[in-house]
């Protein structure tokens, strides 16, 4: 690969028809940050800015066919994994990762939508914990997702370092954890914590007063994948990703999409 070659990134996730989350948001983020974005659809949703009214998994065999066909032809420098929807789709993705060995895997632990709707069946959580987490190089849970994975409450900024360490141990020594405090904690700052087993980095930005935060988790994990593919430095990528998302939220009121939690402004730089 040429030194200045544009990196190719892949999102494996569900489709949000409103474009604020899922593969459509992922492709926007990866493109905005200078990567070539590819996408494999793992689930379909009926969704807008207010609610998820239906989820339909893509047949696992077709997910496998999408992945094998893509990897056989296209160099993939980083993978972001979002909503998978069912155990058989998780298995298909896990097998593809083990077969094709992409160099960087960012796993967004998608379990609950902004509206509060569950996006992962209860019987899939244990499989996700035991099978998917060990395949990730970086996981990006928010606090409610971390609580599901750990089976306990976190509830404060002070409890985040211990939670991040416990999640890291759950994933394996090659992994890192980006634990999102974000809007789930009621202080004036939005604080996230990156931990790779030896180093910790707090990433804190002022909280933006807006309801338009739909898809922030999807977008952050995609930004991490895109920037990590380009820098090869996870801590630099995390710092830049946090800044990008904070600015995209700050510019979200420039958009007029839906009547609920609107999307963030993925292409705010074009208007700057």
Q: Could you tell me the residue ranges of all domains in the chain? A: 8-266
- Concerning whether 215 is annotated as a catalytic residue, the answer is yes
- Concerning whether 35 is annotated as a catalytic residue, the answer is no
Spot the catalytic one: 213, 231, 242, 262.
213
15 forms beta bridges with: 22, 44
The C-alpha atoms of residue 102 and residue 120 are separated, in whole angstroms, by: 24
Q: Nearest-CA neighbor of 160 among 145, 175, 146, 172? A: 146
| Residue 151 DSSP label | T
Write out pLDDT tens, residues 155-200.
788 999 999 999 999 998 889 999 998 755 556 778 899 999 999 9
Lowest mean pLDDT among 55-59, 117-121, 234-238: 117-121
Spot the catalytic one: 9, 64, 109, 216.
216
- Concerning whether 218 is annotated as a catalytic residue, the answer is yes
Count of C-beta atoms within a 10 Å radius of residue 68: 15
pLDDT at residue 140, rounded to an integer: 97
Write out pLDDT tens, residues 138-164.
999 999 899 989 999 997 889 999 999
Record the tokens describing residue 211, joined without a space: 């309801």
Count of C-beta atoms within a 10 Å radius of residue 152: 12
Write out pLDDT tens, residues 247-264.
999 999 999 999 999 999
- Concerning whether 210 is annotated as a catalytic residue, the answer is no
- Concerning whether 204 is annotated as a catalytic residue, the answer is no
Write out pLDDT tens, residues 30-64.
999 999 999 999 999 999 999 889 989 899 999 99
* Domain 8-266 indexed as CATH 3.40.50.280: no
Spot the catalytic one: 182, 215, 242, 262.
215
Spot the catalytic one: 28, 80, 114, 180.
180
**Model pTM above 0.85:** yes
Spot the catalytic one: 9, 114, 171, 218.
218
pLDDT at residue 125, rounded to an integer: 87
Residue 115 has pLDDT above 70, yes or no: no
| Residue 3 DSSP label | T
The C-alpha atoms of residue 239 and residue 41 are separated, in whole angstroms, by: 28
- Concerning whether 53 is annotated as a catalytic residue, the answer is no
CB-based contacts of 220: which residues, under 8 Å, 6+ apart?
Answer: 108, 140, 178, 180, 241, 242, 245
The C-alpha atoms of residue 197 and residue 176 are separated, in whole angstroms, by: 7
Spot the catalytic one: 19, 20, 217, 262.
217
């Amino acid at each position: 690969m040429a030194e200045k070659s544009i990196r190719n990134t892949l999102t494996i996730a569900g489709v949000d028809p409103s474009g604020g989350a899922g593969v459509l948001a992922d492709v926007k983020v990866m493109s905005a940050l200078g990567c070539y974005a590819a996408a494999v659809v793992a689930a379909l949703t009926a969704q807008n800015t207010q609610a998820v009214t239906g989820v339909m998994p893509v047949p696992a065999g077709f997910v496998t066919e999408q992945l094998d066909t893509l990897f056989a032809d296209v160099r993939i420098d980083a993978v972001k994994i979002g909503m998978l929807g069912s155990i058989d789709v998780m298995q298909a993705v896990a097998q593809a990762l083990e077969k094709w060995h992409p160099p960087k895997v960012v796993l967004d632990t998608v379990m609950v939508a902004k509206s509060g709707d569950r996006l992962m069946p209860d019987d899939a959580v244990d499989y996700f914990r035991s099978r998917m987490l060990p395949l990730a190089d970086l996981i990006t849970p928010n606090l409610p997702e971390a609580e599901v994975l750990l089976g306990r409450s976190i509830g404060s900024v002070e409890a985040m370092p211990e939670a991040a360490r416990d999640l890291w141990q759950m994933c394996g020594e090659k992994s890192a954890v980006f634990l999102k405090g974000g809007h789930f904690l009621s202080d004036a700052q939005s604080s996230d914590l990156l931990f790779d087993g030896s180093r910790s980095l707090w990433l804190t930005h002022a909280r933006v007063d807006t309801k338009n935060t739909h898809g922030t988790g999807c977008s952050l994990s995609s930004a991490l994948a895109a920037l990590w593919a380009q820098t090869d430095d996870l801590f630099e990528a995390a710092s830049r990703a946090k800044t990008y998302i904070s600015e995209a939220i700050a510019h979200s009121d420039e958009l007029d999409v839906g009547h609920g939690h609107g999307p963030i402004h993925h292409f705010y730089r074009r208007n700057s």
